[in-house]
Amino acid sequence: MSKMKGPALFLAQFMGDEKPFDAWDNVTRWAASLGYRGVQVPTPDLRCMDLSLAAESQDYCDELAGSAREHGIEITELSTHLQGQLVAVHPAYDEMFDTFAPVELHGKPSERTEWARQQLFLAARASARLGLDSHATFSGALLWPYMYPWPQRPAGLIDEGFRELARRWRPILDAFDDAGVDVCFEIHPGEDLHDGASFERFLAGVDEHPRAKILFDPSHFLLQQLDYLDFIDRYHERIGMFHVKDAEFNPNGRAGVYGGYLDWIERPGRFRSLGDGQVDFKGIFSKLAQYDFSGWAVVEWECCLKHPEDGAREGAAFVTDHIIRRTDRAFDDFAGAATEVSRNRRLLGLE
């Protein structure tokens, strides 16, 4: 039997001011109508939830989860992608990332960082009240301006950046540990944790913290030209979450991995709706089944061409068709013989 659950849908790209995307009851009913069994919840969006209230009130959490279950929907995880980004921001990005924080914190990077930390602590408590065991977030980035090794980086710069990143995240990881919840960092360009090597460096900095896990999204690996199947082989024990998102990479003589500052629709590397890109999902679902991944398969719609509602509708069926129900017996059991120690020893010439 398969341990993977799904399909689920990440709601961040869908919430809006028009029905059915304007309120929790409406959007969970809509997701269920498409065939989804779960939703991943963006915590900054009050149309979905009040994070501060969820951290303090069990009654509120019970009502939130109960309302979704009336439509056949489970809350799969909470997300603090935007708040996690603000745990670590290089000054070059201060003004752009201010939009992720309350207006009164704009232009105040220290206060903004503390607000982000407190948001993560709230998310740990809210996740526990909702009975969740995993949480989605970004790591933030102090080093991203130095991603390319030119000009030559001063000795120790990268080490110092990872030491500081670990220092900021260690108490947050401990708080999630107290809550019994894993922190799944989405491995993503723009974050200091953007590939396996950078995740390993962070993991060493937090002393291999048991709650430091991975949100696996193969679209970001394809755009970096990483081997995402080998990534699963290497890091499957740390993969705690799965975003099912497609992408394509079509380099030419004009632009490649870095994209030439082109808009999404013109870039060689583009996010696509499920089935429209180049990601080998048969291989991915097979690998995750091989390693008994027991989390949710969560559709994240991001496409430069297709309408989001079409992508969501097609995504539910896509995931349902790809989840592998693990066999409970070997295919050649019909030709097997009963196990007997003395017989095995005879076959080996030992008796």
pLDDT tens figures, 89-126? 999 999 999 999 999 999 999 999 999 999 999 999 99
pLDDT tens column, 21-40: 999 999 999 999 999 999 99
Beta bridge pairs of residue 136: 79, 184
| pLDDT at position 2 | 61
Name the DSSP class of 19.
T
pLDDT tens column, 281-314: 999 999 999 999 999 999 999 999 999 999 999 9
Q: What is the chain's length? A: 351
83 CB-side CA count, 13 A = 24
| pLDDT at position 27 | 98
Q: Tell me the C-alpha distance between 222 and 212, whole Å.
A: 23
Write down the mean pLDDT value for the chain. Answer: 96
pLDDT score of 177 more than 90: yes
Domain of residue 237, residue span: 5-347
pLDDT score of 241 more than 80: yes
| pLDDT at position 216 | 98
pLDDT score of 169 more than 90: yes
| pLDDT at position 110 | 98
| pLDDT at position 328 | 79
Say which CATH number the domain at 66 has.
3.20.20.150
Share of the chain above pLDDT 70, in %: 99
Model confidence at 63, pLDDT cuts 50, 70, 90, reads very high
pLDDT score of 337 more than 80: no
Taking residues 62-89, report their average pLDDT: 98
| pLDDT at position 325 | 87
Contact in structure between 165 and 203 (CB atoms under 8 Å): no
- For the purposes of burial, counting CB atoms within 10 Å of the CB of 311, is it exposed (0-12), middle (13-18) or buried (19 or more)? buried
Model confidence at 1, pLDDT cuts 50, 70, 90, reads low
Contact in structure between 323 and 297 (CB atoms under 8 Å): yes
Residues 6+ apart with CB under 8 A from 19: 26
| pLDDT at position 227 | 98
- For the purposes of burial, counting CB atoms within 10 Å of the CB of 50, is it exposed (0-12), middle (13-18) or buried (19 or more)? middle
| pLDDT at position 336 | 75
Model confidence at 332, pLDDT cuts 50, 70, 90, reads confident
pLDDT score of 187 more than 80: yes
Model confidence at 75, pLDDT cuts 50, 70, 90, reads very high
Residue 231's nearest CA partner among 189, 258, 194 is 194
Model confidence at 329, pLDDT cuts 50, 70, 90, reads confident
Share of the chain above pLDDT 90, in %: 93
Model confidence at 240, pLDDT cuts 50, 70, 90, reads very high
Provide the 3-class DSSP secondary structure of residue 10.
Answer: strand
pLDDT tens column, 255-278: 999 999 999 999 999 999 999 999
pLDDT score of 203 more than 60: yes
Query: How many domains does the structure of the chain reveal?
Result: 1
Cα 34 to its chain centre, rounded Å, is: 22
